[in-house]
Amino acid sequence: MQTIGEPRTMQAWADATRARGERIALVPTMGALHEGHVALIAEARRRARRVVVSIFVNPIQFDRRDDFARYPRTLEDDAARCAAAGVDVIFAPSPGAMYPEGFQTAVEVAALTEPLCGKVRPGHFRGVTTVVTKLFHAVRPHLAVFGEKDWQQLAVVRRMTADLDFGIEIVGVPTVREADGLALSSRNRRLGPEDREAARCVPRALDAAAEMAATGETRPAMIVARARMEIAAEPRAQLEYAELRDPETLEEVEEATAPALLGVAVWVGGVRLIDNRLLVPVECEGRSARSGRAPDGPPGAVEAERGSARFGRRGPGASEEAERGGAARAPDGPPGSLGGQDR
């Protein structure tokens, strides 16, 4: 395994690898790797001959300098984890290498970035799409692997990749969860013991909403209200949003008669936690909530997600096949401010 810090050096490696006819998979991260990332790497390894993990704490997706400064940086530990997972290259550029003096270009996706996290964190997804574009140009992958924990991010990256004709396959991988259901995230390490216990209200809320949908409730207001009740019952938690959306377009759902995405953002102990669940009515087999057809956005076919996005994957400690999922990261800040992203 080698570590590369300059985009041009990364491009040269990629060009040589492509010339040998070898497929390249990219796993974009901001470091502080955990078992969710390992699951992403395992999926990348399954699909490509060479795997590149990018580790870059992206300054342009943070709205506050203290958030950026506090983001965990554990490159030595991350390198050891990557080596054990069979990664070929770590691409770990500096901010100056990615955004040299005079840099003034941005890449932006419109409608998909407006609801959910985009509504409370203006500019965040512009930072994400800009850095992902630069990572794509540096690594020149055939495919890139993202976790479904940040479903909106996955949808945005898919849209950008298609719209700009990158010719890169975007692979979504189910969320890896702790034994109690909490989605794995680099953010979790910032939770104290009491806050970590309180954070269990997030998967409980998703479970409660999923149960309602599975037993026939189709009114979004009722489903969302059930999730809100679980969050409200935890005094250490503050709900930022809970919304039911079409899994493909992220438009609001008028009636949950087809698979619908419940997205939530919750603050616990000053840490912003995001999660989601694909709610699948019992009678529904593979139709989106908006159009009645199988969504072509993340993660793909609804049928494949009945056991993944709906229930998640349990980890760590599962076998590679069982834990094949991913978690994305979201930098946090106090309620009402912008955060970052958990990739």
Q: Catalytic residue positions? A: 37
Q: Do 109 and 163 contact (CB within 8 A), yes or no?
A: yes
Quote the tokens at residue 328. Answer: 């994305």
Query: b vs e for 114-128, b when ≥16 Cβ sit within 10 Å of the residue's Cβ?
Result: ebbbbebbebbbbbb
From start to end of 153-293, where are the E strands?
A: 169-173, 176-177, 237-245, 260-268, 271-279
C-beta of residue 263 within 8 angstroms of C-beta of residue 151: yes
| CA separation for the pair 139, 11 (Å, rounded) | 6
Residues listed for the chain: 343
Distance CA 334, CA 269 (A): 9
Look-up of token digits 């997972």: 85
Strand-pairing partners, residue 245, are 252, 261
Contact residues for 321 (Cβ-Cβ < 8 A; gap 6+): none
